[in-house]
Amino acid sequence: MSNSINPSGIPRYLGLDIGDRRIGVAISDELGLTAQPMFTLTRSRVREDLKSLARLARKHAVAAIIAGNPIHLSGDESTQALRVREFADALQAETGIPLHYWDERMTTTEAHRHLDAAEYATGRERRGVIDQVAAVLILQAWLDAHRV
């Protein structure tokens, strides 16, 4: 008996916008067509963060994890990209779930545009959702690029 939430049998994908203080989390819908926001994980200790995300991935029978890759606009690797890769690789080792990186250049800027258009609050309230919106944008771009 499985303890996962995936009645359709269609693969689900987890999208992550990994930052130093927060991780935005999104998941694909049950049809595998759209990315949905889940929550923003406030970072604590790396080991705890990895275990939380691993539990989430198992619970939803995630087939792959899509991590945003914060490279520079020039395409060069950023210092943050190295930190993201270190964390994402540790998550992949923890879960055994395939991991893909997706270029996240401009996703936070685009996320702010979406929230501005929706006239969503600023400041502390916005910080609580901006990473989720960025995770949705990362995952949706990956889903669109991999649609058959």
Residue ranges per structural domain of the chain: 12-145
pLDDT along the chain (148 residues), means of 10: 57 94 94 92 96 96 94 81 95 97 77 68 69 91 85
Distance in angstroms (rounded) separating the CA atoms of residues 28 and 20:
24
Q: What contacts 12, CB < 8 A, 6 or more positions away?
A: 6, 27, 28, 30, 32, 60, 61, 62, 63
Of 134, 70, 62, residue with least CA distance to 98: 62
pLDDT at 6: 57
Distance in angstroms (rounded) separating the CA atoms of residues 100 and 84:
12
The CATH number assigned to the domain with range 12-145 reads 3.30.420.140
Question: pTM of this prediction?
Answer: 0.84
pLDDT at 106: 65
